[in-house]
Amino acid sequence: MTTTTTTDLYSDDPQWVDVTPIPQYDGINPVAPILYTDEYKDATDYFRGVLKSGEKSERVLELTERVIRMNPAHYTAWQYRYQTILALGTPLDEEITLMNDIAMDHLKTYQVWHHRRLILTQTKQAAQELAFLVKVLGLDNKNYHTWAYRQWILSHFSDDDLWRHELEFVDSMLRDDIRNNSAWHHRFFVLFEAGVRAGDEDREALARQEILYSKERISLAPNNASAWNYLRGVLDRSGTEYSSLAGFVEPYAGLPGPTASDADTIDTENPAPQPGARLPSVAALEFMADVYEKQGGERLADARKLWTSLAREHDTIRQKYWEYRSTAAGKL
Amino acid sequence: MFSSPSTPQLQRPGHVRHCKYCLFGLPGTQVGLDASRLAIVFYCIGTLDLLGLLDSGSKPHEREEWRRWIWEQYVVSEHGAGFRPGPFVVTAVDGEDKSRSTNAHDTPHIIMTYTAVISLSILQDDLKRLDKKQLLSFLRSCQREDGSFSTIPGSTDSDLRTTYCAFAIFKMLDDWSGIDIPRAVSYIQRCRSYEGGYGQYPWNEAQGGTTYTALASLYMIPEAVQSSLRPQARLTDVERAQSVRWLVQQQTEAGGFSGRTGKEADACYCFWCSASLDILGAGHLVDESAVIGFMGQCQFKFGGIAKAPGEDAADPYHTYLSLAALSLGTARGATLPDESWKLEPLNPLLNARTSVAEWAQAKMSNAQ
């Protein structure tokens, strides 16, 4: 692994004396010019020199690393680095080690992850990536690029060993943060979007399992939009009627459920809200209104009652939306 | 209940000042923008334009300098012509020709080309220097096997942002020849998530910005092509209802929109989400006064608009997109706290002031 200290300038380095640096041409009156540091100006002057000469060498790897560390969004430095790696036959595991370090510092930069995809396309060492990503998500559990990269790894290399522990991984992410929508999304991706895994061939059983999973999570946090959206996703994907969940949802909407009188029996299929939960839950009201709307006829009035309570009391920021739902109902 | 007892005025002079400072120069800490300078220039000029202060807030010679600098980024490469982000990999020295690629990596960039064309249209450039054939061949060279577009020729770096910018250029050119539209549409559709939004790549989490780029792309496709696509490019009634639901769900108690379910509101998503709603014919569902109240709090004391209340800096990106969101709100008839909040109307598909979008389309569709 190369190391650089940004205080040494290439212009002072005798080893670079054979490269002609090319200063940036910025026009007669540059617009939005960046007041570069001396180190950045120096490194990019030499980088332009290298671009012109076409040199691909060990020292170019060091140069591109220096540019990238100062500006990880410098896509040409990345692209040139990748070409140099291929030309030199640089060991790709070393590159990944270096990238682990750079990724940790620049999680939100596109190029960091794009470069990694390119390297992985060559090495195909996908298994260790999943472990690395667990570490990265420990720093930022909703980092978009990291999740996107994990989804790419799984779908691109798609072998059973890779997938084997994915559900456990999602479970642990959701245990840590039940409101992490990225993890909920990933769960849907794993179970419903990316092919059928061994053991998951019975899609109806899988849907039942996931409906129960959602219910349990909703009972822990009834106002968690991510869990409700996931539940809706599972229902939509499996073609399950929303009305089949009415008995579960009603207590969360503050409505008397059909079995409300049997408060003493514990229904494991329909976990009840926890004492002290903030109810009614907006998502539950919305859900029940959807159920009533679908049933139509006289139930439309019940739907409208719920939309009105959302608009006026429970979810006033979406007042216009709930009023629109009420107006549009029955017209489609 | 949202209440805004004392929404401040829109700090117009401050926002103009912020953008003009950025056009004048950016501190070294902003070096991460080196490979996207043209986009920053667009956000700055666009801010002046949306405020209706381009003419009074800048001098003719300044606008001329901006125009010339943007044209200096126009580059003809072996893959066709477009705009580069800035001179960061130009290897010509003084006196040498910079209008042609100065090395294999000195190529046009799709996102920068879109921002350049809009910026030049704001500056009322006649766009006569654009070589339509070369521009189309550049865009074609970026379409990949999976239907997506790479940012630069020969790269595998592609996502929905690039598709959007390419489609916006086709729309302005009124010429889609040589593009595989069905394949591009299928790529976009693969990015749709169960929540009703779109992710950045297939299988990714629904996100406000990429949802905008997906929807705007799908709704820019010409009518004649739309009608022949199977499955259709535009959303079905069920999909539309689901997308509208997800989009309105992103408006948070803080008044602004979040980019993903359960995240904090961020000024830029006020544009991405509400423009998406406009595209779906549901812009009237936005709680406008909540957005305005949120924006009022995002205004930075030294000018510009920050991504969220309490942030310690503003930037041209959030400033422009906030104003773009307010423009859409003005057009929808939002009740404004005072006249300072009234902005010029915006074309939600091209993300440019209506008359700028018309200018760009008129000039580009006539380009040779």
Q: How would you write A6-36 as a 3-class SS string?
A: CCCCHHHCHHHCCCCCCCCCCCCCCCCCECC
pLDDT tops 80 at residue A310: yes
Q: What's the pLDDT score for residue A160?
A: 86
Check CB contact under 8 Å for A22 and B91.
Answer: yes
Q: What's the pLDDT score for residue B188?
A: 97
Environment class of A20 (CB within 10 Å of its CB; exposed 0-12, middle 13-18, buried 19+): middle
Check CB contact under 8 Å for B31 and A233.
Answer: no
Chain A to chain B Cβ contacts (< 8 Å): 195
pLDDT in tens, B124-162: 999 999 999 999 999 999 999 999 999 999 998 888 999
Rounded to 10 degrees, the C-alpha dihedral A141/A147/A149/A151 comes to 140
Mean pLDDT of B293-313: 96
pLDDT in tens, A286-305: 999 999 999 999 999 999 99
The residue among A166 and A261 whose pLDDT is bigger is A166
Contact, B50 vs B320, CB < 8 A?
A: yes
Mean pLDDT of A93-99: 94
Cβ atoms < 10 Å from Cβ of A31: 27
Helices (H) and strands (E) in chain A, counts: 16, 0
pLDDT tops 80 at residue B308: yes
Please choose, from the candidates B321, B356, B286, B317, the residue with its C-alpha nearest in 3D space to the C-alpha of residue B124.
B356
Cα of A174 to nearest chain B Cα, Å: 14
Residues of chain A contacting B193 with CB distance shorter than 8 Å: 185, 188
Q: What's the pLDDT score for residue A283?
A: 98
Residues of chain B contacting A113 with CB distance shorter than 8 Å: none
What is the longest distance spanned by two Cα atoms in chain A?
88
Here the tokens at position B30 are: 């902003």
Residue A256 pLDDT class (50, 70, 90 cuts): confident
C-alpha A215/C-alpha A212 separation (Å) is 5
Nearest to A148 among B25, B200, B290 (CB): B200
Q: What's the pLDDT score for residue A332?
A: 55
What is the longest distance spanned by two Cα atoms in chain B?
63
Residue B258 phi, psi dihedral angles, 5° rounding: -95, 165
The residue among A108 and B254 whose pLDDT is bigger is B254
C-alpha B69/C-alpha B120 separation (Å) is 10
Nearest to A74 among B35, B68, B193 (CB): B35
Residue A1 pLDDT class (50, 70, 90 cuts): very low
Check CB contact under 8 Å for A188 and B200.
Answer: no
Please choose, from the candidates B237, B243, B135, B127, the residue with its C-alpha nearest in 3D space to the C-alpha of residue B188.
B243
Rg of chain A on CA atoms, in Å: 28
Any idea which of A3-17, A64-78, A289-303 has the lowest mean pLDDT? Answer: A3-17
Residues of chain A contacting B205 with CB distance shorter than 8 Å: 144, 147-148, 181-182, 185-186
For all residues of chain B together, what is the average pLDDT? 95
Residue B231: is the preceding peptide bond cis (ω within 30°)? yes
C-alpha A165/C-alpha A197 separation (Å) is 11
Residue A197 pLDDT class (50, 70, 90 cuts): confident
Residues of chain A contacting B22 with CB distance shorter than 8 Å: 32
Any idea which of A142-156, A228-242, B52-66, B226-240 has the lowest mean pLDDT? Answer: B226-240
Residue A227 pLDDT class (50, 70, 90 cuts): very high
pLDDT in tens, B183-242: 999 999 999 999 999 999 999 999 999 999 999 999 999 998 988 888 888 999 999 999
pLDDT tops 80 at residue A195: no
Catalytic residues of A: 108
Q: What's the pLDDT score for residue A257?
A: 61
Mean pLDDT of B106-122: 98
Residue A264 pLDDT class (50, 70, 90 cuts): low
Q: What's the pLDDT score for residue B267?
A: 98
Going from N- to C-terminal start, the domains of chain A cover 159-193+201-240, 244-257+272-331
Best CATH choice for the domain B12-365 from the list 3.40.630.30, 1.25.40.10, 3.40.50.720, 1.50.10.20: 1.50.10.20
Check CB contact under 8 Å for B203 and A151.
Answer: yes
Q: What's the pLDDT score for residue A260?
A: 47
Contacts of A112 (CB under 8 A, 6+ apart): A72, A99, A102, A103, A106, A145
Contact, B74 vs B99, CB < 8 A?
A: yes
Please choose, from the candidates B173, B115, B181, the residue with its C-alpha nearest in 3D space to the C-alpha of residue B148.
B181
Here the tokens at position B1 are: 């209940």
Check CB contact under 8 Å for B69 and A29.
Answer: yes
Mean pLDDT of B97-108: 95
Check CB contact under 8 Å for B69 and A30.
Answer: yes
Check CB contact under 8 Å for B204 and A155.
Answer: no
Rounded to 10 degrees, the C-alpha dihedral B267/B329/B63/B139 comes to 80
Cα of A257 to nearest chain B Cα, Å: 26
Nearest to A32 among B23, B255, B290 (CB): B23
**A80: nearest CA in chain B?**
B105
Q: What's the pLDDT score for residue B171?
A: 97
Q: How does DSSP classify residue A269?
A: T
Check CB contact under 8 Å for A229 and B25.
Answer: no
How large is the angle between the packed helices A299-309 and A319-328, nearest 10 degrees? Answer: 170
**A237: nearest CA in chain B?**
B194
Here the tokens at position B48 are: 């002046």
Mean pLDDT of A21-25: 95
Cα of B143 to nearest chain A Cα, Å: 17
Mean pLDDT of A219-242: 97
Contacts of A146 (CB under 8 A, 6+ apart): A107, A113, A133, A136, A137, A140
Alpha helices in A124-180 (DSSP H): 126-139, 144-157, 160-163, 166-176
**A118: nearest CA in chain B?**
B156
The pLDDT > 70 percentage for chain A reads 95
Residue A70 phi, psi dihedral angles, 5° rounding: -85, -35
Residues of chain A contacting B249 with CB distance shorter than 8 Å: 225, 318
Check CB contact under 8 Å for B203 and A52.
Answer: no
Q: Which of A34, A109, A147 would you mutate first to test chain B, the one with the most B CBs within 10 A?
A: A34
The residue among A260 and A174 whose pLDDT is bigger is A174
Residues of chain B contacting A111 with CB distance shorter than 8 Å: 157
**B104: nearest CA in chain A?**
A51
Residues of chain B contacting A25 with CB distance shorter than 8 Å: 87, 90, 92-94, 98
pLDDT tops 90 at residue A331: no
Cα of B174 to nearest chain A Cα, Å: 30
C-alpha B270/C-alpha B208 separation (Å) is 9
pLDDT tops 50 at residue B2: no
pLDDT tops 70 at residue A274: yes
Residues of chain B contacting A224 with CB distance shorter than 8 Å: 262
Rg of chain B on CA atoms, in Å: 20
Nearest to B194 among A36, A70, A188 (CB): A188
Environment class of B43 (CB within 10 Å of its CB; exposed 0-12, middle 13-18, buried 19+): buried
Judged by DSSP in three states, B83 sits in strand
Residue A50 pLDDT class (50, 70, 90 cuts): very high
Residue A200 phi, psi dihedral angles, 5° rounding: -110, 20
Residue A103 phi, psi dihedral angles, 5° rounding: -60, -40
**B246: nearest CA in chain A?**
A229
Nearest to B33 among A29, A34, A179 (CB): A34
The residue among A266 and B62 whose pLDDT is bigger is B62
**B20: nearest CA in chain A?**
A32
Environment class of A266 (CB within 10 Å of its CB; exposed 0-12, middle 13-18, buried 19+): exposed
Cα of A157 to nearest chain B Cα, Å: 14
Q: What's the pLDDT score for residue A210?
A: 97
